[in-house]
Amino acid sequence: MENVSLDRVLTGIEAQTDYRFIYKDNEINYSRIVSIHAQKTPLRQVLKKLFRNTTIDVHITGKQIILRSRETEKNKKNNTTEAPKKTAQLVIRGIITDVQGQPLPGVNVTEKGTVNGVVANFDGKYTIEVGGQDAVLVFSYIGMKTREVTVGDRTNIDVQLEDDVQSLDEVVLVGYGKQKKISVVGAQSSVKAEELEQPVANIGTMLAGRVAGLTGVQRDGLPGYDGADIWIRGISTFTNAGPLILVDGVQRSLDNLDPRDIASFTILKDASATAVYGIRGANGVILIETKRGRIGKPEVSIDYNEGWTSFTNIPDLADGETYMRLANEALTTRGQEPRYSEEYIENTVNKTDKFLYPDVDWMDAVFKDFGRNRRASVNVTGGAENAVYYVSLGYYDETGLFVTDGLESYDSDTRFKRYNFTSNLTLDITRTTKVNVGIQGYLSEGTYPGAGVGSVFSAAMEAPPVEYPILYPGGYIPGKSSNGGLRNPYADVAKRGYRNENKNQIYSNLRIDQQLGFITEGLSWSGMFAFDAYNQQFITRSKRENTYFVDQNFPYTENGELLLNETYTGQNFLGYDRSNGGNRRFYLETSFNYDRSFGKHHVSGLILFNRSDYVNAFAGDFTESIPFRNQGLAGRATYSYDDRYFFEVNAGYNGSENFAPENRYGFFPSVAVGWVVSNEKFFEPLTKSINYFKIRYSDGLVGAESGAGRFSYLSRVEQSNDFGFDFGESIQFTPGIRETYYGVDVTWAESRKQDLGIELNMFSNELQIIFDLFKEHTKGAFLQRGDLPNYIGLTTDPYGNLGVVENKGFDGSVTYNKNLGNFRLGFRGNFSYNRNKIIENGQPEQLYEWQDRRGTPLLARFGYVAERLYTLDDDTDGDGFITPDDGDFPNQFGQIMPGDIKYKDLNGDGKIDSYDQREIGQGDVPALTYGFGITGEYRGFDASVFFQGQMEADIMMGGSGIHPFVGGGGTGNLYTVAVNRWTPENDDPYALYPRLSYGDTGLGQNNNTQGSTWWKRDIDFLRLKTAEIGYTLPENVAQKISLENIRFYLRGTNLFTFSSFDLWDPELLTSNGGTYPNISVVSLGVNVLF
């Protein structure tokens, strides 16, 4: 480099290496012109040449290069000699760590208002002499928030520095690379990895409300299957709307990651951020980086927590008396005889004989009150200058809340165990060559009821509480049906065997980074190869034992023993069934990168090729056995001037086998601009209150695979015995060939994404605000046509790139952090809102406008509009039924009586039918997801709470338990809330339940169980998602037991839920509560560093 400023040289060294310079501004002459030639020269020699014949001393500590002026040190000594001798010299010692408790070497520690200062050593420790108790120590470090601490009467001051989330020099992840935060013009959000360290199996359940732009819903709480459905900026397509998840640059799942192995978690939301991923990034991208090693002696971190689990909410089913009286009411008020006599009801209430007059709460019978949850992890990091490592082992164990039968000879306890391992090794092969080797994976084992979790819930929702007891003496299973129907829920969960699910996953990746400065400054090459393999084996050992029932007329023998009559013949030994699955994925990536500054100008570029091959190792047919392949090119070019104006162009060029040869490749560009207004001279008067203000805009196209299946451009034919021809004199039938699928000229779906965002820091960076407006217009979704008439002779309706969807909304975050002496207060809030609507869906024009799904949300619910319940006054002729003769009432579904649901006749034709259905709900994915939390720290104590909520989501209730007595013969359990019903004595047109009916063909049953607004419920909620309190022992106490740091904590998840819907947990994917509930956890733990 010839005749360039010293500042440019230092910047170039930081750009091409992992080293960072630490110095005081007033000690370094940035503008000094230097010339240096340093190809293949060790860094120490380069620095020696740079500062030859100057007063600057150079010290290298780890990856920190500390520059100090000898003149300053000389002046300090002279001042010490000449100044009057201080009357109170204090020696202060301590250790400086980051938020994870890791020591920070190279931190500047200065006495405020003086030139007195030191630098923390390799272990983050420091020792400094100060003038007295009024002295203020200033701790500063690149990428961290500066802290000021008054000495007071302390001689040991340990300090924890936080990441400066708005540091302009902070490097953040972007698509296929990293950039300084100030230069990022794409929309992205992130969450601190330590926030995900919760006592749950899958971190996906912790994301909703923590990351702006991300929507997450936990649909199931079963151990091992309790992951969350995740969307970025909602749903904007008819087909797969899930984001691309990249772990260390490779497409992988986040569900089984150990949160303590995560270094960073970022989501990319707009076209500028995701265009380089082409079709894979159409629905947004989640970038996860695992931890790498750091230079230093080996550091061992151990974390262990154990807690108790319980359900957030379980269905409250009616007791025996309530059930029988309502069943009788359902019959007698419809003109039928009661099923249960008063004597039978009284015997049940009085518990005369629990075997003859049972009263069973099946939810209580199949569930325990508490389970156990525990996690342990150990990680070790360290290394030398040319080689660093990170190794971790993790263990997670959760027991379910299903009951077990102690008499069985096998272990049927519902349980999920997982073992995680992570190993990352970084080697500096040469001064310009770096190699990263990563191996990760997990082994898991799950044990579940042999009958299946779903069957347990369906049985509990179908079996009335008075049908039979849990068990008869001797362990005999009660049952009434000779064909095995109306199963015993307790037997399904505790006496039907077990199912073992063994899974293992291995992730491996090798990356090589090569600096190519010998060609031109700022040029580098990177290549990566990854191989992932997944295997699973499920073994089911199930049985179905004989069932028995007691004849009410002859229940006991002469000896007083129960007389059991066999009702179903089964088997008492365990069977065997096995299934296997697995897949392999190969990923190859190679890229050239360019990053260089020319004075105030900065340019960078990227060109990248990638290929992904996926093999289904247990494919069920020939088509599935063919390897899946995607490949493409990605490019990026950026330009910035003086850290004020930014311009970026991204593009992806991708190919997919699913499309016709002429449509196989697609090009998807994007452009983005940014303006840091706060760096303008005219903004200087405002910088004291508004420290940072940035505006950015992006616009681009993103491709998607449109939802077409494999080889959708090919037609499919098959021989059919149902279709053919009659030939010959004797007229013999000959099978023909039938075209079952019509190949079409299928191509890409395209989404145009626009984003306008602002970033604002205020009041000494204590308050940070990020806000984005976005709009997406997606066209070309692959849908089946509905606008072709049947008479044209097609066997099935063909598909095409027909679907068009518009999605728009806003998201953002607000963060506030304040140090009040030794007390630190923090607040963070995130929100994500979107609304989508169908523009085109390939369906024919509807007779009435309210039937058209165009203009409605993708998940919109269509049904009848329930106006109210008919009342006794509506029966004007007093015959007990509602007919058109009683007034202007439409014909509905069968015979209608007072208390049945009255539907709105939208088209006024005098009858209720499909023409009267319209949009009545927008679906169970919330339009608004939000979260907010508060943290506080004081002298070793820390506490935090975080709330998560959702709005504008709904469900349609139905099925057993919700619709009373809806099963054949009147079977079906009953929710307790059914007591709030219409009766002749309670002639309320808005009672919670309509007039009861008995049996699937009972009067009113068909009318009252139609999908309508009567059964739609909003599932908005606010939940105390996490809460934690902790205490960190003082360093001198920890060191007495040979530890660097030790922290104790109490944390909980899903602690309280506030919602108008309280029949079951509002996040569950169920219409009647028949899904394993979500769980609440309270856990005690300890974290040790040594």
Residues paired with 379 in a beta bridge? 301, 392
Least confident of 32-41, 572-581, 1076-1085: 32-41
Least confident of 270-284, 365-379, 888-902, 1019-1033: 270-284
CA–CA gap between residue 263 and residue 214 (Å, rounded): 19
Residues contacting 793, CB < 8 A, separation 6+: none
Give the single-character DSSP code of 976. G
Mean pLDDT of 1029-1058: 90
Mean pLDDT of 149-167: 79
Calculate helix-pair angle for 6-16, 43-50, nearest 10 degrees. Answer: 170
Residue 87 has pLDDT above 60, yes or no: no
Provide the pLDDT confidence category of residue 916 given band limits of 50, 70 and 90: very high
Alpha-helix residue ranges (DSSP H) falling in 993-1052: 1005-1008, 1035-1040
Strands 928-938 and 1045-1058: unpaired
Mean pLDDT of 283-290: 92
Residue 49 has pLDDT above 80, yes or no: no
CATH class, 1-78 region: alpha beta
- Give the amino acid at 202: N
Provide the pLDDT confidence category of residue 939 given band limits of 50, 70 and 90: confident
CB neighbourhood size of 169 (10 A): 12
**Average pLDDT in the chain:** 88
Contact criterion met (CB below 8 Å) for 6 and 32: yes
From the list 232, 295, 294, the residue with the least C-alpha distance to 269 is 232
1079 or 18, greater pLDDT = 1079
First to last CA, the chain: 45
Provide the pLDDT confidence category of residue 80 given band limits of 50, 70 and 90: very low
pLDDT confidence of residue 688 = 86
Contact criterion met (CB below 8 Å) for 328 and 464: no
- Burial call 762-796: b when 16+ CB within 10 Å, e when fewer: beebbbbbbbbbbebbbbbbbbebeeeeeeeeeee
* For the chain, domain boundaries: 1-78, 196-207+215-293, 861-921
Token duo for residue 471: 């068990």
Residue 931 has pLDDT above 90, yes or no: yes
Token duo for residue 64: 């920190």
pLDDT confidence of residue 85 = 41
Mean pLDDT of 258-275: 90
764 or 865, greater pLDDT = 865
Residue 143 has pLDDT above 90, yes or no: no
- The gap from C-alpha 75 to its chain's centroid, in whole angstroms, comes to 57
Token duo for residue 886: 């009683």
Top mean-pLDDT range of 36-50, 103-117, 467-481, 617-631:
467-481
pLDDT confidence of residue 969 = 78
Provide the pLDDT confidence category of residue 61 given band limits of 50, 70 and 90: low
CA–CA gap between residue 346 and residue 340 (Å, rounded): 10
pLDDT confidence of residue 486 = 85
Q: Classify burial at 743, counting beta carbons within 10 Å of its beta carbon; exposed 0-12, middle 13-18, buried 19 or more.
A: middle
Contact criterion met (CB below 8 Å) for 105 and 61: yes
pLDDT confidence of residue 404 = 86
From the list 1053, 698, 823, the residue with the least C-alpha distance to 149 is 823
Give the single-character DSSP code of 715. -
Provide the pLDDT confidence category of residue 81 given band limits of 50, 70 and 90: very low
- Give tens-digit pLDDT for 474-506: 899 999 887 877 889 999 999 999 999 999 999
CA–CA gap between residue 876 and residue 668 (Å, rounded): 68
CB neighbourhood size of 910 (10 A): 11
pLDDT confidence of residue 86 = 40
From the list 630, 445, 422, 607, the residue with the least C-alpha distance to 525 is 607
CA–CA gap between residue 585 and residue 251 (Å, rounded): 9
Contact criterion met (CB below 8 Å) for 394 and 421: yes
Residue 162 has pLDDT above 80, yes or no: no
